[in-house]
Amino acid sequence: MAGFRGAQGNLRLENVTKEFTDFLAVDDLSLEVPRGSFFALLGPSGCGKTTTLRMVAGLEQPTTGRVFIGDTDLTGSRPYERPVNTVFQSYALFPHLTIRENVAFGPKRRKQKDALKLADEALELVQMTQFAGRKPAQLSGGQQQRVACARALVNHPEVLLLDEPLGALDLKLRREMQVELKRI
């Protein structure tokens, strides 16, 4: 099933519904996001935004409906089989690893020989190379957010999901990171 990692094209959700035992989280959602675009799901708390992202990432399975990238149906595939990476609000950095090791984690898991070189390139992309030897606790919130983005980008995903990664930042830093993400 590793072939899913090569899926390319628009992200498409067709009639996606997600029901929990006593709650309808997403109701018959269909949408298409063109490849290369920056797209936002907006709505009040509890309306299904995170659940939708989790279904795209493969962390939740839709009750009904399908998830595609291009012509590839990813609905039943596992998260690690999808060409999708997620940056969560908490950033989920490993506290015991250096910044460089955090970013190299994905490529190392996939047994890529040049994992550290790829990590260095991703850190350069988010302008964090000078902090490569530090631990996450030694960075500001905005710097940790950049590292989390680098860790997702190093895998060259077809789809990069951002689940409120800017929510914990102050307004000035949030605006700076929005500009940075658009640049990347």
Per-residue model confidence as pLDDT tens digits over 154-182: 988 889 898 876 766 677 777 777 777 77
Q: Do 74 and 91 have their domain in common?
A: no
Q: How sure is the predictor about 127, in pLDDT bands with cuts at 50, 70 and 90? A: confident
From 82, 100, 116, the end of a domain falls on 82
Q: Are residues 117 and 133 in the same domain?
A: yes
- Do 41 and 124 reside in the same domain of the chain? no
In this prediction, residues 44-48 reach a mean pLDDT of: 92
Taking the C-alpha atoms of residue 2 and residue 78, their distance in angstroms, rounded to an integer, is 10
Assign 129 a pLDDT band (cuts: 50, 70, 90).
very high
Given the DSSP bridges, would you call strands 64-69 and 72-73 parallel, antiparallel or unpaired?
antiparallel
Cα separation, 82 vs 172, in Å, equals 34
Question: Percentage of residues in the chain with pLDDT exceeding 90?
Answer: 57
Dihedral pair phi/psi, residue 9, rounded to 5°: 130, -165
Residue 73: which domain range? 1-82
Q: Which of 51-55, 65-69, 85-89, 131-135 has the lowest mean pLDDT?
A: 85-89
- For β-strands 72-73 and 84-88, DSSP reports them as unpaired
Residue 6, pLDDT score: 54
The reported pLDDT for the residue numbered 168 is 62
The whole-model pTM stands at 0.79
Rg (CA), the chain: 17
160 forms beta bridges with: 85
The least confident of 2-11, 76-85, 114-123 is 2-11
Does 71 share its domain with 18?
Answer: yes
Do 16 and 76 lie in one domain? The reply is yes
